[in-house]
Amino acid sequence: MEVRPVESGRDLRAWCALTERIYDDVPGFIPPIRQQLRDFHAGTSPYLGREDIVFLGVFRNGELVGRTTAHRHRKLDERLGAPHQLFGFTEFVDDPDVFAAIADELTVRAREAGATRMLGPVNLLPNQSGGVVTRGFDERGFVDGAYSRPYYAATYERHGFERMFVGATVIARGLQRDVRPVEEVFVFDDERIDREQLEIRHANRKRIDDELEVVRAMLNASFAQRVYYTPIDADELAYQVEGLGYLIDERIALYLYKAGRPVAFMLCIPDISEFVRRVGGNLNLVNQLRLLATRRRYRSEAICVIKGTVPEEQGKGYMSLLSRELLRNLRAAGYETLRGTYIETHNVASSAQADEMGGGPLHEVTFYARDVT
């Protein structure tokens, strides 16, 4: 067994393609976007420099059988109060020796970097994506959501990793069959709208750059209380949504203003997961044009990527008002299903949206940690 860094473009392509073998009979796996992986490897994304991340492959008799990244992030260390060795995009065949090689290599690198704990899989940070699925394997994954083989969780725990953050992705099906008035699903006193000068605005592709800055300010404020959340810089958010503006369905990306001030947001996008799966995560220019030409095919399912309310306005029911508008628009646009990204178990308020729509948990997701000894 040998662990070595991924150096060449050819090696990186093989590293990316490992999931094609691990999930060859599992249509539920949605691969990460290859162009982003290339940027992470080259250190050209705004998240990490080239010196902050290394891609590692595990080889057995010359065959690639496991992979991971090893990376550090100063802002997350500050949030967690200790230096952490992060790892992500971690995949491995069902062989404990392969995972042991990954864990041993991460431990060596953690010691060299002075880290006291290992945390992952985070792609690249907990507030982006990652985690290990521990329940719900029969359900397919989706873009920005975790998916993994059933043996992954047991392998982590067998090697001394403990559950650090636990939560779930969510799903609400049958939106077109649900005939309940939206006012009954999400109750809000409409008299408050005029009294509190509330205004719901929809996203506008033509003003997306300006709107991103508004979203970023609300996002950083509303998530600041969460221990795993690191503030997002302007260039990071711009990178994350780069090239996807043409996919935005303005009806399901919503902002709430109070007396002219933004106080809450809910960003949903059409679910293009099936397209991403078919192209193996390769969103090159040709495939982007293909997606653009066929984007109307992906208007039956949506993903709620992120939502939040600024701290001083939380607990006032504003998310119910936005959820009501969202459900109305999802139905009008013909969407059948809404999925939602990772929500921590104790965050009942965020998971309530799917519950009210008649949905519930999709995948149970866990992030693992282990002390460096």
Q: Which domain holds residue 308?
A: 172-364
**372 lies in a domain?**
no
Q: Name which of 91-100, 304-313, 346-355 the model is least confident about.
A: 346-355
**229 lies in a domain?**
yes
205 & 127 share domain = no
Determine what percent of the chain is predicted with pLDDT higher than 90. Answer: 77
148 & 291 share domain = no
161 & 221 share domain = no
Examine the fold and report which residue of 145, 166, 187 is the final residue of a domain before the chain moves on: 166
151 & 290 share domain = no
Average of per-residue pLDDT across 279-307: 91
Q: Rounded to whole angstroms, what are the CA distances from 326 to 150, 250, 255, 256?
A: 34, 11, 11, 12
pLDDT digit string, tens, across residues 177-210? 999 999 999 999 999 999 999 999 999 888 887 8
204 & 160 share domain = no
Q: Which two tokens stand for residue 324?
A: 């009501």
**371 lies in a domain?**
no
pLDDT digit string, tens, across residues 97-124? 999 999 999 999 999 999 999 999 999 8
CATH of residue 178's domain is: 3.40.630.30
Region of residue 89 (left: phi > 0; alpha: psi -120 to 50; beta: else): left
196 & 345 share domain = yes
Predicted local confidence at residue 50, as pLDDT: 67
**68 lies in a domain?**
yes
Say which residues have a Cβ less than 8 Å from residue 131's Cβ, sequence separation at least 6: 121, 122, 146, 165, 167, 342, 365, 366, 367
Q: Is the predicted pLDDT of residue 4 greater than 90, yes or no?
A: yes
In angstroms, rounded to a whole number, what is the distance separating the alpha carbons of residues 176 and 223?
32
In angstroms, rounded to a whole number, what is the distance separating the alpha carbons of residues 37 and 43?
10
pLDDT digit string, tens, across residues 134-149? 999 999 999 989 999 9
Confidence tier at 239 by pLDDT (50, 70, 90): confident
Confidence tier at 244 by pLDDT (50, 70, 90): low
181 & 315 share domain = yes
30 & 83 share domain = yes
Q: Name which of 134-138, 159-163, 225-229, 339-343 the model is least confident about.
A: 225-229
Examine the fold and report which residue of 166, 193, 225 is the final residue of a domain before the chain moves on: 166
Residue 126, SS3 per DSSP: coil
Comparing CA positions, the residue from 284, 233, 234 lying closest to residue 37 is 284
127 & 254 share domain = no
Predicted local confidence at residue 51, as pLDDT: 73
Average of per-residue pLDDT across 277-297: 91
Average of per-residue pLDDT across 20-41: 93
**370 lies in a domain?**
no
Examine the fold and report which residue of 166, 196, 224 is the final residue of a domain before the chain moves on: 166
274 & 302 share domain = yes
42 & 177 share domain = no
DSSP 8-class letter at 130: B
146 & 269 share domain = no
| Tally of structural domains, the chain | 2
Comparing CA positions, the residue from 355, 357, 321, 353 lying closest to residue 336 is 357
Predicted local confidence at residue 148, as pLDDT: 96
